[in-house]
C-alpha cells in the first residue's frame, strides 16, 4: 500500500533512512549493528537475510532468471532488471532538489546528494580517512 502512495512511515533512529515496510527497516538496522548471519558456502560473503544470500548465490551459479523483453540482457534480480529497463525508456524519475541532475534510482540520487552536503559516510577505522563512496574506501583500504 505505502509503495503506491510514496509514504515511508518506518524511520531508522540511527540515520535518515525511511522505509515503506517494517521488515525493510529491520534489515537496514543490521547495517548499523554489523549483523550478517547468512553466509555463502562458496566464498566469504555474508548477508543480512536469506533472500540476499540467494541473490548472491546466483553469481556463482551464473543463473540470471530475469530477462529483458527489449534486448538480450538477463539479470540476477528483478530490481536490476527494472533498473535496466529505464535505459530503454530514458526515464530518470529521481531529481535532485539542488541542481538539475536526475537519476534512475533513489540510491544514485542519495549518493549524488553527498556532493551538495559534503557528507562522507564511509570512513577508515585505521586512519580516519572519510569519503562519499564505498568504492573509494575500498581503494583506500588497499593502501594499508
Give the pLDDT confidence of 7-54 residue by residue, as tens digits.
Answer: 889 999 998 899 999 998 988 888 888 888 999 999 999 998 899 999
* Element (DSSP H or E) covering residue 28: helix 22-33
Domains recognised in the chain with CATH numbers: 94-141 (3.30.160.60)
Q: What is the spatial distance between Cα 107 and Cα 82, in angstroms, rounded to a whole number?
A: 14
Q: What is the mean pLDDT of residues 56-72?
A: 95
**pLDDT at residue 129 in the model:** 95
For the segment 64-81, the average pLDDT, to the nearest whole number, is 95
Q: Residue 100: what pLDDT?
A: 94
C-alpha cell at 7: 509514504
pLDDT at 99 over 90: yes
User: Over the stretch 106-138, which tens digit does the pLDDT of each residue have?
Assistant: 888 998 999 999 999 999 999 999 998 889 999
Checking if the pLDDT of 75 tops 70, the result is yes
Q: Is the pLDDT of residue 3 over 60?
A: no
Please state, in angstroms and rounded to a whole number, the distance separating the CA atoms of residues 105 and 95: 9
C-alpha cell at 97: 532538489
1 pLDDT above the threshold of 80: no
Amino acid at each position: 500500500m505505502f509503495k503506491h502512495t510514496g509514504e515511508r512511515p518506518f524511520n531508522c533512529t540511527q540515520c535518515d533512512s525511511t522505509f515503506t515496510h517494517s521488515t525493510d527497516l529491520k534489515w537496514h538496522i543490521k547495517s548499523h549493528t554489523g549483523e550478517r548471519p547468512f553466509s555463502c558456502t562458496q566464498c566469504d560473503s555474508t548477508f543480512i537475510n536469506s533472500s540476499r544470500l540467494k541473490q548472491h548465490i546466483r553469481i556463482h551459479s551464473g543463473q540470471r532468471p530475469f530477462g529483458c523483453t527489449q534486448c538480450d540482457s538477463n539479470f540476477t534480480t528483478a530490481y536490476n532488471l527494472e533498473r535496466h529497463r529505464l535505459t530503454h525508456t530514458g526515464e530518470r524519475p529521481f531529481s535532485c532538489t539542488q541542481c538539475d541532475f536526475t537519476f534512475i534510482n533513489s540510491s544514485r540520487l542519495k549518493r549524488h546528494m553527498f556532493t551538495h552536503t559534503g557528507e562522507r559516510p564511509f570512513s577508515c577505522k585505521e586512519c580516519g580517512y572519510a569519503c562519499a563512496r564505498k568504492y573509494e574506501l575500498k581503494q583506500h583500504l588497499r593502501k594499508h
